[in-house]
Structure 1
Amino acid sequence: MRTILLLALLLAGCSAAEPVRRGGIVSLNPCADQLLLALVPPERIAAISHYSQDPRASSIPLDVARRFRTTAGTAEEVIALAPDLVVATSFTPPATRAAFARAGLKTLYLGSPTTVAASKQQIGEVAGAVGASRRGRALNRAIDTAVADTRSPDRPVPTLLFIGGDLANGAGTLLDEMMAHVGLRDAAADYGVTMTGRLPVETIVARPPALILSPDGGGRTAAMRRRLLAATGATTRDVPFARELINCGGPTIPAALRRLAAIRRGV
């Protein structure tokens, strides 16, 4: 019986194994994943990052992400795929970079844009690297249109945007710029958060903001925050803001701007 069971497990493992595909583009970052999906046909993408199959980190629909092979970003597994291009981040460890260089892989290391202008520049850079300049220009035009459509002359509304739990978005970020553009003032600095940082509900109870945006409407931290603020009689509005609009810029910018603008109009 043990022999039959072991044989069955071995056969199951063999049938589930994915064939190794060589060539194509390998992405090691969830924001690069969604950008590549907007720029090139799916068949050109050999693998995406495992983060895109995590709903807390992904900016693409999970059913789409699950159609692709993923990697954990190790040099060994990426080199084994022999990709035509590796799109990684500027935070890639030096040892991994050196391994890619020794293997002769073409690489593109991306930073994390903190402005709309920088995000557009990055779109152009990636589009040029993958031979999709026309699509890159079209995407940047869509961003320009969204920027023009969502500019608000109204008085800014003090707003806290929680990335998750009690982690609040602060100044100097892409989300901060987009909030200001549509008439929402990022209030994190009012509570001593100079960049993105932790902001427990006890800190904001004494001086609640007009608006709170949260991606985890059903999460325990957000639920506790709502209960405590309600108990104080605060008139703070708690509005959902989809997680997939938080994690990345690039192709997400038009949808994020329009959602933020709609929230501002509803205040």
Structure 2
Amino acid sequence: MRRLPGIALALLWAATGAFAGPSRVVTMNLCADQLAMMLAAPGQLASVSYIARDTRASAMAKEALAYPVNHGLAEEIYLLKPDLVIAGAYSTPATTGMLRRLGVAVVVFQPALSLQDVRARILQMGQVLGRKDAAQVLLAEYDQRLAALQDAGPEAPRAALYAANGFTSGSMTLAGQILRAAGLRNIADELGYARSGHMPLELLAMSAPDLLIGTSPYPRASRSEDNLAHPVVRQLAARSSAGQIRDADWVCGTPHVLRAVETLAEERRRFVEKEGSQ
């Protein structure tokens, strides 16, 4: 089985009900790591990427301790004897190319750019793992939680996503959709940032958002984060009792994005109650 070309092997698993799925799976992408940990059968997942244990980036760092880690190198992954490797669109092409030449099946997952994409990635992971029933259960839970949240209306508070180097995200990004699902309007949309881009500090100040959604600074100093220490940014951030987002809940298109939505929805409720009492 392992010597079939990667694409042919993946198609075989997806097309036949006679074969339950791969028995030794290695993931080498943070987002694939987490979806696989949520859906894999006991003993099916042989290794996850080392980033899966990084509490700054991974929403499942504790769960990842139960798995051996890899560093995305073709040699180490091949020696794990996987019958399926799951990579991301930005995984090292040299690694995935070498694994395919060695006869290892490789499936590449695209990043989720919307809340709808999260649904698609859950189903895709269920398919390639041969765990369609488990994926349907996870998807139903995701849909139920998402349906209980409130989309932004015309009177919703105005919020700004603002990260290192003035990075912001509009409505055609996963982060922008998280903001909207929480019942907040995104000033990036007002300013023409449909996707992601750099928002000058002056624009941020003139837009006067009701809430500023910042990011958690990394332990080592970086000039890219200097903008987050500016007095204007600090003044805007002081209006938000939530302060900073937990990056790990925002990074990947997994059901963990709903924790970010729920946190912002609670922040919106506090803001509306505060404004209503004045």
Alignment TM class, shorter chain as reference: 0.7 to 0.9
Q: Alignment partner of 1:109: what SS?
A: strand
Q: Which runs of 5+ in 1 are unaligned?
A: 1-22
Judge conservation of contact 2:29–2:88 (CA < 8 Å) in 1.
yes
In structure 1, C-alpha distance between the alignment counterparts of 2:176 and 2:108, rounded to whole Å: 24
In structure 2, C-alpha distance between the alignment counterparts of 1:70 and 1:215, rounded to whole Å: 27
**Which residue in the other structure is 2:205 paired with?**
205
**Which residue in the other structure is 1:262 paired with?**
266
Deviation at 1:35, TM superposition (A): 0.6
Judge conservation of contact 1:165–1:216 (CA < 8 Å) in 2.
no
Distance 1:148 1:222, change over 3 A: farther
**Which residue in the other structure is 1:87 paired with?**
86
**Matches for 1:138-157 after TM superposition, within 5 Å:** 138-152=137-151, 154=153, 155-157=155-157
Q: Which moved more, 1:147-156 or 1:190-199?
A: 190-199
Matched, 1:215 2:215: yes
Deviation at 1:46, TM superposition (A): 1.4
Q: Select which of 231, 242, 247 maps to 2:246.
A: 242
Greater Rg, structure 1 or structure 2?
Answer: 1
Matched residue type, 1:76: E
Q: Which runs of 5+ in 2 are unaligned?
A: 1-22, 220-224, 272-278
**Which residue in the other structure is 1:52 paired with?**
52
Size of the aligned set, in residue pairs, is 242
Matched, 1:34 2:37: no
Deviation at 1:41, TM superposition (A): 4.2
Q: Identity of paired residues, percent?
A: 24
Q: Alignment partner of 1:33: what SS?
A: helix
Judge conservation of contact 1:142–1:254 (CA < 8 Å) in 2.
no
Judge conservation of contact 2:152–2:185 (CA < 8 Å) in 1.
no
Q: Alignment partner of 1:87: what SS?
A: strand
Q: Alignment partner of 2:162: what SS?
A: strand
**Which residue in the other structure is 1:3 paired with?**
none
In structure 1, C-alpha distance between the alignment counterparts of 2:174 and 2:234, rounded to whole Å: 30
In structure 1, C-alpha distance between the alignment counterparts of 2:59 and 2:227, rounded to whole Å: 21
Matched residue type, 2:205: V
Distance 1:247 1:42, change over 3 A: farther
In structure 2, C-alpha distance between the alignment counterparts of 1:224 and 1:66, rounded to whole Å: 34
**Alignment deviations for residues 97-129 of structure 1 (CA, whole Å, 9 cap, x no partner):** 331222111221100121222221221111111
Deviation at 1:153, TM superposition (A): 6.1
Q: Alignment partner of 2:48: what SS?
A: strand
Judge conservation of contact 2:171–2:189 (CA < 8 Å) in 1.
yes
Q: Give the TM-score normalised by the residue count of structure 1.
A: 0.78
Q: Select which of 211, 218, 224 maps to 2:229.
A: 224
Judge conservation of contact 2:250–2:257 (CA < 8 Å) in 1.
no
Deviation at 1:32, TM superposition (A): 0.8
Deviation at 1:48, TM superposition (A): 0.9
In structure 2, C-alpha distance between the alignment counterparts of 1:68 and 1:102, rounded to whole Å: 26
Q: Which moved more, 1:130-139 or 1:183-192?
A: 183-192
In structure 1, C-alpha distance between the alignment counterparts of 2:238 and 2:87, rounded to whole Å: 44
